[in-house]
Amino acid sequence: MIPFFDHTPAAPKICGITTIDDAYGVIESGAGALGFNFYAPSPRSIPLGSDLAWIRKLKADYPDVARVAVVVNPDETLLKKLLETKSFDAIQFHGDESPEFCSVEGIRFPHWIKALRVRSEENLRAASNFHTPFLLLDAAVPGTYGGSGHTIDWRLASWFVADHPDKRVILAGGLTPENVAEAVSQVHPHAVDAASGVESAAGVKDPLKVREFIASAMAG
What digits encode the pLDDT tens for the residues 43-73?
999 998 899 999 999 999 999 999 999 999 9
Please name every residue paired with 127 in a beta bridge, in sequence order, or none if there are none: none
pLDDT tens per residue across all 220 residues of the chain:
899 999 999 999 999 999 999 999 999 999 999 999 999 999 999 998 899 999 999 999 999 999 999 999 999 999 999 999 999 999 999 999 999 999 999 999 999 999 998 887 888 888 889 999 999 999 876 556 555 567 899 999 999 999 999 999 999 999 999 999 999 999 999 999 999 999 999 889 999 999 999 999 999 6
Instruction: Give 207-219 as a DSSP string.
Output: HHHHHHHHHHHHH
Residues noted as catalytic = 15, 138
Taking a C-beta distance cutoff of 8 angstroms, is the pair 58, 20 a contact?
yes
The three-state secondary structure class of 6 is helix
What pLDDT sits at residue 141? Answer: 62
* Helical H segments across the chain, by residue range: 3-6, 20-28, 53-61, 76-85, 99-106, 121-125, 154-163, 180-187, 207-219
- Residue 147 gets the label, from left (phi > 0), alpha (psi -120 to 50) or beta, of left
